[in-house]
Every structure is written in C-alpha cells, then in structure tokens.
Chain A
Amino acid sequence: MLPWLLIMPSLVLAFGVIGYPFYEIIRLSVSDVSRFGQLRGFVGFANFVTIATDPIFVAALVRTLVWTIAVVGGTILLSIPVALVLNQDFAGRGLARIIVMLPWSIALSMAAIVWMWAFNADYGMINATLRQWGIIGQSVQWLARPETAFPVEIGIGIVVSIPFTTTIVLGGLSSVPGEIYEAARIDGARPWQSFLHMTLPMLGPFLNIAIVLNVIHVFSSFPIIWVMTQGGPDNSTHILVTYLYELSFYLGRPGPAAAVSLVMLVIVFGATALYMRLRAKDGI
C-alpha cells in the first residue's frame, strides 16, 4: 500500500498531463467545433470521414511516411560513420565533436529560417556557390517546385537530426570494450568484418533507441516544412502535421484537425510498438 501511496502524486500528475489533453482531443474530434473552440454538437465520425475523403490528407499521409523513412534512414546511415570517426583518437577530436554537436543548440525553427535563406533562389549561398563552381548557369528555384523542394527539406531534416543521433551512437561506441577489437585483430578479422560482426550488433540497443526517438520526432516535425514551403506549392510538400496546422489555424476547423492528430497518434504508437516487438523477437 505504501509504495502506491508514494507514487500516487506522480501518477495523478501523469494522468492529468497526458489524460486531459487526450480527452479534449477525442472530444473535439467527434464534435462540430467553431474556429474559436465552441462546441456546436456531436457529429460522430463525420470529421474522420471529412479528412479521409480529402485527397490532400491522403497525399500528406503517404508523404509523411516517405518523409519519416527518408529522414530517419538517412540520419542513421550518416550518423554511424560520423560517430565512428569521432570515436577515433585524433588531435582536435574535442573540437570536432563540438562542431558536430553545435547545430543541436539552435532551435529548429531558427535553423529552418537560415536554410530557407541559404536556398533562396536570388541571394542564397547554395546557388551562389554552385554558380561559382560553374555547376549551374542560372539560379535554381529550389523551393518553387515539389521535385526539388521536398528533397531539399528531407536533406535539411537529416542534417539537423545528425547531432542527436551521433550522440547516442557515440554513447554506444564508448560502451564497447576495446579489448575485443584487439582479440579480433589477432584472430585475423578485417576492420570491415569487426564493424559488421562486432560493432553493429553491440550498437543494436542504441540504434533502436535512436530510431524510435527519431521516428517520433521526425514524424511530427513541423518547423522545416512550414518555414520553407508551408506545405506548398499546391499542397505538394504537406506532411500530416503541417496539414493539421493549416486545417486548424488557417481554415479554422479544430474538429477535423483533432481527427488528424488522433490518426497521427495511432500511427506513431503503432509504429513504435511494432518496431519494439520486432526487435524483441530478434533478441536484441
């Protein structure tokens, strides 16, 4: 009884902090809600039908999956080599680590604004650099077309996710005892083999955490896309969270927006649970 009493305050707090907004979202999602949050009546699943029949929602849903897989995948693929390099003993390692971690200290919306200017067609440093190197003759309108705008946004998503992921991987690497590499070398293992058969499996739990946390973050990451293209042109860069924002705050429809956020919650929850189960089966 006493243990329950002792954790009661934090339990109540947790239920309050998580439970109340959850209750509100569910209530909004089944109601006809005015722009200013006044409930005009119960509508059942009408809000869910509204969004499910909106082609912009369906396209945004698919794009969100592409966005999440591309950004998380790219981040993991790039963070492992970066962490491996930073784990080596070399002169200036401390400085190199600081440089890799620095972008982390900038708020995402600020970073997105900086990148937006970097990709500006007329004054941006990307076009200026490419012109200087003679790679392009005319300015590229990076953000004007979906074919370039969305990949650019994915690239920025990867760049801003690297510091966090590298930190986790570095933590994992530092827990790998150095002796086993020595033993492997004596047994004739090549560096590539010891990476594949020793480093990678030992990093498993750390990569798991990195993937799950990144999926949760990236899936609902708002600033990059909103700052650079606001989901446009012609809705071609919307992901669910920017679509939700536009729905709620531009078009004034909190009801359907709440439905979108519930769908997002279910997806993130499902993806995380599935992934955890798969890894648990692997025994890692």
Chain B
Amino acid sequence: MSMMWRLDMRRPSLRQWGVVACAALGLTLPMRAPAAQAETVRMTVSYYSAATGPYFEKMAKEFHAANPSIDIKIEVVNWPNLLQKLQTDISAGANADISIIGTRWLLDFVHDGIAEPLDGHMDAAFKDGFIGPFLKPGQIDGKTYGLPIAASARALYYNKAMLTKAGFPNGPDTWDDVVAAATKIKADGGNGFGLMAKGTEVDVYYYYALWSYGGEVLDSHNKAAFDSPAGIKALTLYKSMLDQGLTEPGPTNYTREDLQNQFKQGRLGMVITAPFLIGQIAKEAPTLEYGIVPVPKGTTRATYAVTDSVVMFKNSKVKPAAYKWLQFLFSKPARVEFNKNEGFLPTTKAAAADPLFTENKRLNIFVSLLPDARFAPTVTGWEDTAKAVTDALQSVYLGTATPEAALKTAAAKANQSLGK
C-alpha cells in the first residue's frame, strides 16, 4: 500500500533568502532588464509512480530552455493526500498556479470559483487535439476547466496458467465463466477472483458488475439507482463468490494494490484493474504469463473510464505563462513520454497515433473498450455516494447486512447529498 507520508515542506529558495537578506539590509537586488524578468509557474502534480517527479522536472527543464523567461516549479504529492493538500492550500490562498486533480472533484472547484475557464486561452486546433470523450468530463456548463492529463479504463487480467488449467485458456467472457473458472481454481487450492473492499475505488469494483447487468449508479435525475434489481444481482454475485471461497479470504483487508501484488506473484487468477498494471508486471514479474479481456459480461458489456485533469487556478498571477506550459505538456513528445512512463491511455489524438499505442496489443484492448466506457458523473455528492456504497459493500462482505438492505440504506444516504 502506498501510504507514505510525504511532508511537503516548502523551503525558501536561495534567491528568496537573498531577497529577505537584502531587504533586511535595506538593499535592493540589482534589477534585470524587464524582458528577462523571470516568471515562476508553480504546478502541483500527483505521484503516479517513481517516474512522475523526474518526468515533470525534465519537462520543466526543457520548457525553460525554450522559454528562458519562465521558471517551472513542480511539487509532487501522493494521491491519498492530494485533495487534502489542495484544500488547505486553497483555503490559505497558497495554492500553486496549476494542478492535477481527480476530474470528479472538478465540480467543487468550479462551484467555488477556484478553477479558471480555459476556453479564452485555447485555440480551436489545441482543443480539437484532445480525444473527445476524455475532454468531456472536464467541461461544465459548456466551459472547459480541466484538460485530461491521464486516462485509464478497466479490463480483466487473468493468469494464463491458472485459467488454462481451469478450462478458459482465452480468459473468461461472462460472469458465469468467472464463477466456473474460479471454482476450478479453488479446487486446486488457489484464489480465483480478486475482490477488493478496502481503500479507494471499492465502489467502482462493484459498479463493473452492476453495469454489466444493465444497472446504473445514478438515474437521469442524478438520484441513486444502484439499489435496482441489477445492483442487487451484482452484489449477490460477489457475495456468493466470497461465500463459496472463490475470492481471496477477507476482502475487507485488500486494496487494489494488494490484489495487483497478489496477481503479480501468480497467487490470484483474475483481477479487474487499470492498464498501468501492464508496466508493473513488465518490470516486477516479467515471467508472468497473463492475458487481458474485457470486464466480464452479464447481460451487457461495460467498463469504467476515468481521467485526471489539469486545472488552472483563478488566483494565478501568471496565467499566460502557465498556459504556455500547458501547451508544452500536451505536445506530442511530452504526452508520449508521459504515457510510456505511467502506462496510461493517450488523451490526445497525436499521441494515440504513436506506435507506442498502435503497436501495443495489450494497451489496445483498453482502447477498444472505450465506446462502452462509463465515466464518473459530474455531480455534487459523488464522494458521499462512493462512501455510502463502500460502507454497504463492506457490511455485506462482513455478513452484517443483506445485499438488498445494505444497498437501500446506501441509496437513502447517498440521496441526502446528491445534487445538493
């Protein structure tokens, strides 16, 4: 689990100390010519992997070489702490000029007038460069606030050796296949299907099955709809797999990372997760034989897609410079290198045309799933809904509530916050 506490102490730079020292002595710094006056753009980025920080530092250096009048300062923050850091920074007026955020948080930023609409900065060509469905979640009321910097979709990874032995050498296609395969794997003493119920995205792991049975998380009025028959069927499926021992024991103890680690070690037959596991396996378990198939089908086909966005803050004093830096970040070479490092899907058309994607069969499976992909809706109370559903799932897995009762309670709870 990546629960490391990174203290983001902002140390004054040497120059800032210099300014303080000179001011104290009643001196002024020698003024440089106005044209060479350096502007500093601060950017908060989230820690995706060990490569994230070095990548942005490298880009900042390249950008500075081309634009000597603009300095870029990068601060890297872990995902679990990112929203908290932004919240405290913004409350104190000490936020950076631009930041990566989870796109599902965007509405709160826009409501409070914190995010800058980017339409005035962007020209048509730049905007058209994005892959449409990935840009859409960053748009609210017809204005673009967030540019998609990272995108992923979900598919099912399966262990080839285990699934071949269980009679599904090409992976499962439906939930019935998953149950049949997991039953055989269990008979051999293994864990068939990975079920996560701790940490972030516990709710999403359940939505895979919900959607595949034709259910919806919210209805057209943005009210809870996951307690539908499809939702109950999906949760009953997971619960029955748990009860039959077809999953790892004690899912409330397993985060997504825990399941991915189990899969890498060849101790888990199947797990649904994002494309970045491909890169992790290549690095950490290169001998593992595995395949990737779409999220299993119930009555229909569905997957989950998610983007992270870059936003510019309204209180930034260097907006043109910050926008210039964004243009640089979304240029083709910068995008391709980012995706290569992190294993995300391309968000711009130019990057998608790169051989990195067109010739990567495994990544292409994820790209092919995008037409059926659902995004988290832009609605207030989404975090509360996630929390209510997560609580419901955990209570069902712990055996303290039935699927139907737990989902009804969660729906009532979610409706208290949805759309408010």
Contact = CB atoms under 8 A, between A and B. Distances in A.
Interface of A: 34-38, 109, 113, 116, 121-122, 138-139, 141-146, 227, 229-230, 232-236, 246, 248-252
B394 A252 contact: no
Nearest to A143: B253
Contacts, number: 82
Interface in B46-103: 83-84, 87, 90-91
A161 B72 CA distance: 44
B395 interface: yes
Contacts of B20: none
B398 A113 contact: no
Contacts of A109: 5
Name which of A38, A227, A234, A251 has the most chain B CB atoms within 10 A of its CB: A234
A250 B387 contact: yes
Name which of A145, A227, A232 has the most chain B CB atoms within 10 A of its CB: A232
B128 interface: no
B108 A233 contact: no
Name which of A229, A235, A252 has the most chain B CB atoms within 10 A of its CB: A252
B111 to A, nearest CB: 7
Majority secondary structure of chain A interface residues (helix, strand, loop or mixed) = loop
A230 B202 CA distance: 13
A144 B87 contact: no
26 contacts: A34-B108, A35-B112, A36-B90, A36-B112, A37-B90, A122-B262, A122-B267, A139-B249, A141-B249, A142-B253, A144-B251, A144-B253, A229-B198, A230-B198, A232-B198, A232-B390, A233-B198, A233-B394, A234-B252, A234-B395, A234-B400, A248-B87, A249-B84, A250-B383, A250-B387, A251-B383
Contacts of B1: 116
B397 interface: yes
A234 B395 CA distance: 6
Majority secondary structure of chain B interface residues (helix, strand, loop or mixed) = helix
B3 A113 contact: yes
B87 A233 contact: no
Nearest to A117: B1
A236 B109 CA distance: 31
B108 A144 contact: no
Contacts of A229: 198
A249 B394 CA distance: 21
A252 B87 contact: yes
A109 B4 CA distance: 9
Contact of A36 (B87, B197, B267): B87
A227 B198 CA distance: 12
Contacts of A36: 87, 90-91, 108-109, 112, 114
A252 B91 CA distance: 12
A115 to B, nearest CB: 12
A63 B252 CA distance: 20
A130 to B, nearest CB: 16
A236 B397 CA distance: 13
